[in-house]
């Protein structure tokens, strides 16, 4: 552990056995429990950073994930700049990265495996090799002062990233140094978080391999499309859930399930002839075969053996249903040799997850070729025009209020983005 500048005596007292220490232990156990069962990588990043900041009263924080000898600036939170709970900040990082070496604070922590306490980043002693990069401070009104930087190291000694907490605050809201007690608590939390992240990255990799399998059939169904549709879907669900005052724990679980389900919404296309998928002017029978991808997708997930199977089933079979009942496949026997597509399900007969992905899949199909990350007003006008016919009107209203977040998602999940490099 490296510590810069002297920690005041009153903060050294954190080491003495006291009620505060017992309280910290309880908070730590609660934080560990919160992240233990999350499988979705993005949801896990969000919760790890939030729980870590809550444990030590940090105003802001960053998670870097390691890949190819670099640290990717992959998730940020900042209550002062963005406001507590503001979701757009999670997508601001995009492809920014820095090398794992001794020149930066985060790079040094990853390379050395040491946690760092910095009382004032603008007064770092000259004998160390790393320094603070003030570029973000210079571009904003924010002033970084105290840092607690901890490497995320698995039980197999694999460095999967770095957790950086910024500006500890006391009860009066003043910025103060992080304490040795803070360092101890976060180091314990970071070990659990690192193992959870490694498992989550492996699960994401398996999902992406399924998407790659689908891409052999339909080139439009690539990892960029899957990431964007899923991220739009989670953003829309979160906004809907907050509007309806959904319990935060339930919201986290639903987000966890929805992202994976949305990424695999078209998995059923792997069972459809590629010539049909990549051709226009289809015959009636070919059109039927193309629509069967919804049924084939439902067959993949019908056993409900995993926690997210039900959501994946709902999305696969229902993302082409229309609010007014004009979509497909309707109520069908998914195991029939040739299911009859009857009248489509309508309104809230269509599961919420499917109604959400119907919007986000359409939006990405209309905008993915623009290439410059601009919010496509034509696409929004089309979606707005199909509220009450194709799409849930309440969800459309909420979706159209997410312009900045949607544009940030598209930038973050460009073809050279972090997500596609690391899964």
What Cα–Cα distance (Å) separates residue 328 from each residue in 28, 63, 361, 388? 48, 42, 15, 16
Asked if residue 158 and residue 27 are part of one domain, the reply reads yes
Task: State which of 166, 199, 232 marks the end of a domain.
Answer: 199
Per-residue pLDDT of the chain (423 residues; tens, 9 = 90+): 444 443 333 443 443 444 444 456 777 888 887 787 787 888 899 999 999 999 999 999 999 999 999 999 888 999 998 876 554 455 555 457 899 999 999 999 999 999 999 999 999 877 788 889 898 888 888 999 999 999 999 999 999 999 999 999 999 999 999 999 999 999 999 999 999 999 999 889 999 999 998 988 888 888 889 999 999 999 999 999 999 999 988 998 899 899 999 999 999 999 999 999 988 899 999 999 999 999 999 999 999 888 889 999 999 999 999 999 999 999 999 999 999 998 899 999 999 999 999 999 999 999 876 555 455 888 999 999 999 999 999 999 999 999 888 888 887 776 433 344 444
- 280 and 176 both lie in a single domain: no
Strand (E) or helix (H) holding 66:
strand 58-67
8 contacts 122 by C-beta, under 8 angstroms: no
- Tell me the sheet residues that pair with 97: 72
Q: Are residues 387 and 313 in the same domain?
A: yes
Residue 207: asked if its preceding bond is cis (omega within 30°), the reply is: no
Asked whether residue 397 is assigned to any structural domain, the reply reads: yes
Quick one: DSSP state of residue 6? P
> Is residue 185 within a helix (H) or strand (E), and if so which, with residue range?
helix 180-217
- Tell me how far apart the alpha carbons of residues 296 and 312 are, in angstroms, rounded to a whole number: 12
Instruction: Using the structure block, give the residue that is written with the tokens 């609660």.
Output: 30
182-188, Cβ contacts within 8 angstroms, sequence gap of 24 or more: 182/14, 182/55, 182/56, 182/148, 183/1, 183/115, 183/117, 183/148, 183/150, 185/24, 185/27, 185/28, 185/55, 185/56, 186/52, 186/55, 186/56, 186/115, 186/148, 186/150, 187/115, 187/150, 188/28
Domain boundary among 142, 171, 199: 199
The total domain count for the chain is 2
Does 344 reside within a domain?
yes
Which DSSP category does 163 fall into?
E
User: Whole-angstrom distance between the N-terminal and C-terminal Cα of the chain?
Assistant: 31
* Pair (188, 239) in one structural domain: no
Q: What is the CATH number of the domain that holds 339?
A: 1.10.3210.10
Let me know whether 296 and 371 are in one domain: yes
pLDDT of residue 368: 77
Structure tokens, 399: 């979706």
Residues 189 and 234 in one domain: no
Which of 199, 226, 255 is at the close of a domain?
A: 199
Domain check: are 140 and 227 in the same one? no
In a domain, 211, yes or no: no
**pLDDT score recorded for residue 24:** 66
Alpha helical stretches, state H, 292-327:
293-301, 309-318
Q: What is the pLDDT of residue 136?
A: 84
Whether 223 and 307 share a structural domain: yes
In a domain, 210, yes or no: no
Question: Within this chain, do residues 191 and 224 fall inside the same structural domain, yes or no?
Answer: no
Q: Determine whether 247 is exposed, middle or buried from the number of CB atoms within 10 Å of its CB (0-12, 13-18, 19+).
A: exposed
* Tokens, residue 192: 């659990």
Using CA of residue 241, residue 245, residue 250, residue 252, what is the dihedral sign? positive
Do residues 242 and 365 make contact, with C-beta atoms less than 8 angstroms apart? no
What CATH code is carried by the domain that includes residue 82?
3.30.450.40
Is 154 inside a domain boundary? yes
Residue 151, domain member (yes or no): yes
**Within this chain, do residues 191 and 242 fall inside the same structural domain, yes or no?**
no
Confirm whether 239 is domain-assigned: yes
pTM of the model: 0.81
Phi, psi of 312 (to 5 degrees): -65, -40
| Selection from 214, 259, 187 nearest residue 41 by Cα | 259
What does the block give as tokens for 207? 């999902």
Q: Whole domain around residue 282: which residue ranges?
A: 218-422
Residues 6 or more apart in contact with residue 16 via CB below 8 angstroms: none
Burial of 264 (0-12, 13-18, 19+ CB in 10 A): buried
Same structural domain, 175 and 291: no
Can you name the residues that pair with 58 across neighbouring β-strands? 168
Q: Are residues 181 and 273 in the same domain?
A: no
Is the CB of residue 277 less than 8 Å from the CB of residue 217? yes
User: What's the token pair of residue 28?
Assistant: 């730590």
Which tokens in the block code for residue 174?
């003043």
Report phi then psi at 38, rounded to 5. -85, 130
Domain annotation covers residue 164: yes
- Per-residue confidence (pLDDT) for residue 5, from 0 to 100: 40
């Amino acid at each position: 552990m490296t510590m810069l500048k002297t920690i005041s005596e009153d903060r050294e007292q954190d080491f003495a056995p006291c009620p505060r220490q017992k309280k910290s232990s309880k908070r730590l156990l609660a934080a560990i429990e919160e992240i233990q069962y999350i499988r979705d990588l993005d949801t896990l990043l969000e919760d790890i950073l939030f729980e870590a900041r809550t444990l030590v009263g940090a105003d802001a924080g960053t998670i870097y994930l390691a890949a190819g000898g670099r640290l990717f600036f992959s998730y940020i939170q900042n209550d002062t700049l963005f406001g507590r709970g503001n979701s757009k900040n999670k997508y601001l990082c995009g492809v920014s990265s820095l090398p794992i070496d001794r020149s930066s604070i985060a790079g040094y922590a990853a390379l050395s495996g040491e946690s760092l306490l910095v009382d004032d980043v603008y007064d770092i002693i000259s004998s160390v090799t790393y320094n603070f990069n003030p570029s973000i401070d210079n571009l904003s009104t924010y002033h970084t002062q105290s840092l607690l930087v901890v490497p995320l190291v698995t039980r197999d000694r694999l460095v999967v990233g770095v957790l950086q907490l910024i500006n500890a605050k006391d009860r009066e809201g003043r910025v103060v140094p992080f304490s040795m007690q803070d360092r101890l608590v976060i180091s314990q939390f970071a070990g659990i978080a690192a193992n959870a992240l490694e498992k989550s990255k492996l699960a994401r990799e398996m999902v992406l391999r399924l998407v790659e399998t689908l891409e052999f059939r339909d080139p439009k169904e690539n990892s960029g499309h899957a990431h964007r549709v899923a991220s739009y879907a989670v953003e829309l669900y979160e906004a809907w859930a907050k509007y309806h005052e959904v319990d935060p724990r339930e919201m986290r679980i639903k987000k966890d399930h929805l992202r994976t389900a949305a990424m695999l919404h078209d998995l059923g296309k792997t069972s459809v002839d590629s010539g049909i998928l990549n051709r226009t002017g289809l015959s009636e029978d070919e059109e039927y075969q193309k629509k069967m991808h919804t049924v084939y997708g439902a067959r993949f997930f019908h056993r409900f053996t995993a926690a997210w199977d039900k959501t994946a089933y709902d999305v696969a079979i229902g993302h082409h249903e229309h609010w007014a009942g004009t979509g497909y496949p309707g109520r069908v026997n998914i195991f029939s040799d040739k299911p009859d597509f009857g009248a489509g399900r309508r309104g809230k007969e269509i599961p919420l997850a499917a109604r959400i992905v119907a919007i986000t899949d359409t939006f990405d199909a209309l905008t993915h070729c623009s290439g410059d990350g601009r919010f496509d007003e034509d696409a929004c006008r089309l979606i707005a025009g199909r509220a009450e016919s194709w799409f849930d009107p309440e969800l459309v209203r909420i979706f159209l209020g997410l312009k900045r977040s949607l544009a940030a998602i598209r930038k973050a999940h460009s073809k050279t983005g972090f997500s596609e490099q690391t899964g």
